[in-house]
Amino acid sequence: MTGRVVVAGASMGGLRAAEQLRTAGWTGAITVVGDEPHMPYNRPPLSKEVLAGKAPFASLAFTPKAAAADVEWRLGTKAVAARLAERTVVLDDGSQLPYDGLVVATGMRPRRLRCPGPLAGRHTVRTLADAQGLRDELTRPGVRVVVVGAGFIGCEVAATAAGLGVREVTVVDPLALPMVGPLGELLARALLKRHEERGVRFALGTGVAGFEGEERVTGVVLSDGRVLPADVVVESVGSVANTEWLDGNGLDLADGVLTDGQLRVGGRPEVVAVGDVARFPNARYDGVSRRVEHWSIPTDTAKHAARTLAAHLGGSDVDLAPFAPLPTFWSDQHDFRLQSFGAPALGLGDVRVLDGDPDGDVLVGYHADGRLVGVVALGGQSAAMGAARYRAQLLKQPALTA
Amino acid sequence: MKVVVDMNKCQDHGQCVFAAPDVFSMDDDGRLVYVSDPDDALRDEVEEAADVCPLQAIRIEG
């Protein structure tokens, strides 16, 4: 096979796509383009072990597979435009990369709060540089921390900050409970209690109206009028898809890049998308296209998309079964872990305790039409293993639409 | 094929057990145990296990 596949995005999804293209038999050139100066690295520890200083930054680097040793890495540069009809990607240094196949792997960036106030002292957690900067501030003596957003990253960062012994840490969220979106009320309530018992404060049911301070932030003004003194602010309020470079190609970019059930983009067999930027239908569930920001998704999507793309480029458009990953996520906070299999968010209307009780180790089942669609464990290692016992059952279930 | 797990990194997520049950398992205390010199016929599943390890603690040599 000759020709070139360009992979736009050099994080986990880009790396896995390059590796899986080799596994799928693509022997032509592969060029991976990424805006960060680093080779791909593992991000989850940025809000946990690495932020806590328990693991060095250098420990995050992925070890690329030997089969991908001849991949060309163009780091510190990014795709700024694409002309899909001409099969060309334009980079920020002005160069143009023609391709035979394109993998969209540009991921997400943190959403920022737009309310008034100084920027200095306000952090996000997405990149190595972000985590290094935040760690420097959290380890100053006596800092008061406000975390805006009680999702995965916000709850993890708050737990890490508490563990580092900061003077105080408060989590702000407009919703009434932390992580209530992905977990539902029962577990979110249990989570809140655990955080509070470990010294994390919460300001729930209120948003942020602005930031106080001249040069740098000194306080967070809540929409209910209260002001929380703050030396460090962490904004964990969701993310924005990096798709601007794909503008002008007639694609559906309303939330990430829309794909078909084989992860192809815009009806073009030579363009696929992987990772959290891909909005794909999951044949296991209801066929609704969604972006999924769980850690397992870059690997799952890369494997499937590479097969799709390699088959097309090799001239053998095989009939692959539609993409149907079993979602899984975990989150480590303080001394406990959340471990999920399946799609709890699709079963929030019918939540049942399957084992244990919410004050201790607990396993919760999420149901749609009376059928189990997801499980989440909260607690220690044995609780997480309890969730794993339901994995096979969730895998075997027929599609929700069946 | 030689498999090495960095037990300082391993946090007993167990994802490798799903990917390569012939090589990785959990003992009664929920701690990882594994075969360090699996048959080469298991390479695909061991590579899958290395990919899905949240801590990226699994290394394949040779």
What is the C-alpha to C-alpha distance for residues A276 and A110, in angstroms, rounded to an integer?
13
Tokens 């360090």 appear where? B36
* Residue A295 pLDDT: 97
Scan residues 29-58 of B and list those with Cβ closer than 8 Å to A.
30, 47, 51-52, 54-56
What integer pLDDT is reported at residue A1 of this predicted model? 65
Give the per-residue pLDDT at B30.
Answer: 81
The yes-or-no verdict on residue A368 having pLDDT over 80 is: yes
Domain spans, chain B: 2-61
> What's the domain range around A357?
335-396
Last residue of a domain, one of A206, A237, A268: A237
Q: Kindly report the nearest CA distance between residue B62 and chain A, in angstroms.
A: 10
* Residue A52, domain member (yes or no): yes
A133 and A119 co-located in one domain: yes
Contacts of A44 in chain B (CB under 8 A): 54
pLDDT of residue A106: 98
Task: Name the minimum distance, in Å, from the CA of B36 to any CA of chain A.
Answer: 19
Query: Which residues of chain A have a CB within 8 Å of the CB of B18?
Result: 388, 391
Q: Within this chain, do residues A217 and A148 fall inside the same structural domain, yes or no? A: yes
Q: Does B7 touch chain A (CB under 8 A)?
A: no
Q: Fill in the amino acid letter for A296.
A: S
Question: Among residues A218, A237, A256, which one ends one of the domains?
Answer: A237
pLDDT band with cut points at 50, 70 and 90 for residue A133: very high
Q: Does A328 touch chain B (CB under 8 A)?
A: yes
Average per-residue pLDDT for chain A: 96
Q: Closest chain A residue to B12 measured between Cα atoms? A: A381
Q: Per-residue pLDDT tens for A267-298?
A: 999 999 999 999 999 999 988 999 999 999 99
Residues of A in contact with B26 (CB under 8 A): 385
Whether residues A213 and A121 share a domain: the answer is yes
Asked whether the beta carbons of residue A382 and residue B30 sit closer than 8 angstroms, the reply is yes
The beta-carbon neighbor of A388 closest among B14, B55, B59 is B14
The tens digit of pLDDT for each residue in B6-53 reads 999 999 999 999 999 999 999 888 889 999 999 999 999 999 999 999
Whether residues A99 and A122 share a domain: the answer is no
Domain-located, residue A318 = no
Same domain, A66 and A161: no
Q: Are residues A23 and A138 in the same domain?
A: no
Whole-number Å distance between alpha carbons of A326 and A330: 14
**Predicted local confidence at residue B32, as pLDDT:** 93
Predicted pLDDT of residue A397: 82
Across the interface, do A330 and B13 touch by the CB < 8 Å criterion?
Answer: yes
Give the end of a domain, one of A189, A208, A237: A237
Judge whether A322 lies within some domain. no
* Residue A77: Cβ-neighbour burial (10 angstroms; 0-12, 13-18, 19+): middle
CATH number of the structural domain spanning residue A216: 3.50.50.60
Binned at pLDDT 50, 70 and 90, residue A173 comes out as: very high
A307 and A264, same domain (yes or no)? yes
pLDDT band at A398 (very low <50, low <70, confident <90, very high): confident
- A233 with A131, same domain: the answer is yes
Task: Note the pLDDT tens digit of each residue in A198-252.
Answer: 999 999 999 999 999 999 999 999 999 999 999 999 999 999 999 999 999 999 9
> With an 8 Å Cβ cutoff, is B12 touching chain A?
yes
CB within 8 Å: B11 and A332: yes
User: In the prediction, which pLDDT does B29 show?
Assistant: 83
CATH of domain B2-61: 3.30.70.20
**SS3 of chain A:** CCCEEEEECCCHHHHHHHHHHHHCCCCCEEEEEECCCCCCECCHHHHCHHHHCCCCHHHHECCCCHHHCCCEEEECCCEEEEEHHHCEEEECCCCEEECCEEEECCCEEECCCCCCCCCECEECCCCHHHHHHHHHHHCCCCCEEEEECCCHHHHHHHHHHHHCCCCEEEEEECCCCCCHHHHCHHHHHHHHHHHHHCCCEEEECCCEEEEECCCECCEEEECCCCEEECCEEEECCCEEECCHHHCCCCCCCECEEEECCCCEECCEEEEEECHHHEEEECCCCCCCEEECCCCHHHHHHHHHHHHHHHHHHCCCCCCCCCCCCCCEEEEEECCEEEEEEECHHHHCCCEEEEEECCCCCEEEEEEECCEEEEEEEEECHHHHHHHHCCHHHHHHCCCCCC
Q: Does B26 touch chain A (CB under 8 A)?
A: yes
- What are the two backbone dihedrals, phi and then psi, of residue A190, each rounded to the nearest 5 degrees? -65, -35
pTM of the predicted protein model:
0.96
Mean pLDDT (whole number) for A14-40: 97
Residue A402 has pLDDT above 60, yes or no: no
